[in-house]
Structure 1
Amino acid sequence: MRIRLEKDLPVLLIALVGASTVASLPQVESAWAGIKEVYGEQEMGLRILREALLAVLIVYAWLEPRLRNGIFSSSVLAFLGVICSYVLFEVGYALYLDLPLVVPMTGLRVFEYLPVALIGFVTSRLGAGDYVLYKFASYLRYYLALQTVLAIAQALWAPPLFGVSMLGGGRPFGTFVSPNLFGATMATCALVFALVPGMRRWLALSVFLALLSGSRTAFISSLLVVFFQVYAALRPRDRWALLMPAPILAVGALILASSPLLSGRDDADPTQDGRIDLWQRVFADHVHGPMDVLFGWGLGLSSNTVNLLFGAEYFPGQFDSDSLYLFLLNGYGVIGLLAYLTFLWITTRMSVHPNKGLVTMFIFAAGLTFNMWEYFPQNALLMLLWGMVLGCAAKTHAVNSDMAQAPVSAQTGYSQPWR
């Protein structure tokens, strides 16, 4: 069997992401009929398909010598060793609190697609990151086209199960179980297209779908992508005119995203829909001392999977986090939360990728009110991009510069020293 990373990897990646078109098919059919199925049934559905495709991708990384050697380098192994050590400590602490093993195991879902990040990291280090991302984005267009047809049809004619869309029907949900998951994925697709030259029409379409979903997080995330696009298009001396009103623009975007006109919901005010109140109660009821602050009060207790398996409020300290940062604080404490934020900051310091600021800001902002590492396929897409950005280090950039006379594709404009 001949393994060709530059041709095989984009196909495997789009197959993984494309699994979302069937993973929630029973729930999508029910939503079209105006019936909201319980999330416990949703999780069982056809989820096994995406897990199988993830396993195929991991096996491929093992069989491809360049990926395998890159992942098993000393620096990567040291990084993984530090993560594993602390995670094992948190699992042990959860068991010490008499939680069943399945609970802390659900708290590990934020690492489920870490192999995709490692693959993206090594691919970028090999100098093939731009080409792989270009081919993946070209396949992603077909995925987006399917979501567009379904979303417009739903926005016109679907029952208003999740609220009313701007087009008069229900808020669109595409092939997902809710408009919020659909909107988050469309905003992430906008991020992918923003990183690839010649994809502006698909970027605009992704932003439109994110807006149509009525999701506040998707709306703000997609506007962040647009902001960086406008910023990059301006001359350096003119960029201050965009940066100075940026805080006001952010507040305005939040107010606009929370309006019933865009969100399609009467309870769109974030101070009135229960989320802020939930966060306040979490800190008041469950944080009892320094140990809870430093290490969390129960790994997995804020995972949606625990709610599905045991029901809401089954364990003391259990809650629906919504925010990634509350999820990390609950399961990994201030230590884990600071480690995550530090790694985001390190990414911006180490990488020389031209869009590192956009990717890291998108990841940071998307986690404020949405635990994106629990939701597929946004988690797979963001892990891939994060790994590719981090893998574009100064040393790698210098090596690629020495290959400037390598053949250049007339179609993509990317140097292709790997051919």
Structure 2
Amino acid sequence: MTSDPAPLYAAHLATMQLRAETALERGGFEHLVIPSGTVHYQLFDDRDYPYAVNPHFKAWVPLTRNPGSWLVVTPGRRPRLVYLQPFDYWHVVPEAPSGYWPEHFDLVVIRQPEEASRHLPPDAARCAILGEAQSALGRYGAFKPNNPQPVLDYLDYHRGFKTSYEIEMLRQATQRGVRGHRAAERAFRAGASEFGIHLAYCQAVGQDSTELPYNNIVALNAHGAVLHYTERDRLPPRPVHSFLIDAGASFGGYACDITRTYAADAGSEFQQLIDAVDAVQQRLSAGFVAGRDYRDLHLQAHLELAGVLRDSGVLRISAESAVESGVSAKFFPHGLGHGIGLQVHDVAGFAESDRGGSIAPPDGHPHLRLTRKLEPGMVVTNEPGVYFAELLLEELRGGPHANDVDWERIDAFRPCGGIRIEDDIVVTDADPVNLTREAFAG
């Protein structure tokens, strides 16, 4: 399924302008000013870090490689884009803006970063300026980001509700990510190392490590128990038992986030465990409906995964007892998921309202990144997992619940590391839309 976000952009921009107007009113400002960000250099060196665009900037325009540019939004006027196109024979100069979006802006092209100041509002005190401190502009850095909290609270909260344009951008990113995942599985089946699988993924996606939305997790065997494993061994282990890959892709500033786990032996008990976790994941996905408290989904995931561990012989106690005692958290130590969009872990996951406030995660579950109720337009991940992590297992062995598990069964699964299955899901007025499964089926 191929989508075209272009026809949806004008409506997206109208929504962004309405949100900006309300946010400015909340903060008592007249203008919203957003720098795209600047290049950072390493200390005591002239090497730059990979440039990361200001997410507030790319929410308006699909530009991700344009440091030194600025956006000005004033209620009642067309937004202004100050576009840096420098004279530079050291680097590739950005091309002139083109495509479906430039016609919606008053476009000003500058050749030096300092020239932007003459195209910004004259009084910085009347501006809500969203960005990093390094983006300060003007004499003595007078025009510098102030990041007013009432403005951020409003914009961040409503960023949780994606426009139709944004959902199509996420769909495009997901299609790229699925291409990479298919290539990664082929490389795994062919006997490639973690590093080799990573390269195969990047090749298929058409993005290098600095363009991907996050650092790929490519884990063979016990490495799958390290939640954010990014070492990428250059040689494959012998023998190979399992493969976990958590990798995304970008499209126009939007990110997908996909995880899959594979067993080397399709007839193994570990494959049966993967199948059981996948079944839990799909049952949970069906519950991503408007009005559902995400905290409840997280607790349901713990209960169902504990049931899987009980059925596989790992747990000697009931699923309910495993959740209540905290034993389930030794095997599922992270949250069920998070919002996704302009950032992989999108903002305002704990927001109580667009005026601030915070919704705490359930007691005993500090790593849950999303505590809001699901509403139409939200795009969130669903990523239950089961892991046999050495540190957590040692804590379990030394605690009061050591006899609640079968250590021989744990030792049988330990070489395989762990399992995580992750999809990106759109909450609607009806049934949820699973962007990831949709792309894998295409």
Q: TM-score, normalised by structure 1?
A: 0.28
More strand by share: 2
Larger-Rg structure: 2
Q: Which structure is higher in RCO with an 8 Å CA cutoff and minimum separation 6?
A: 1
Q: TM-score, normalised by structure 2?
A: 0.27
More helix by share: 1
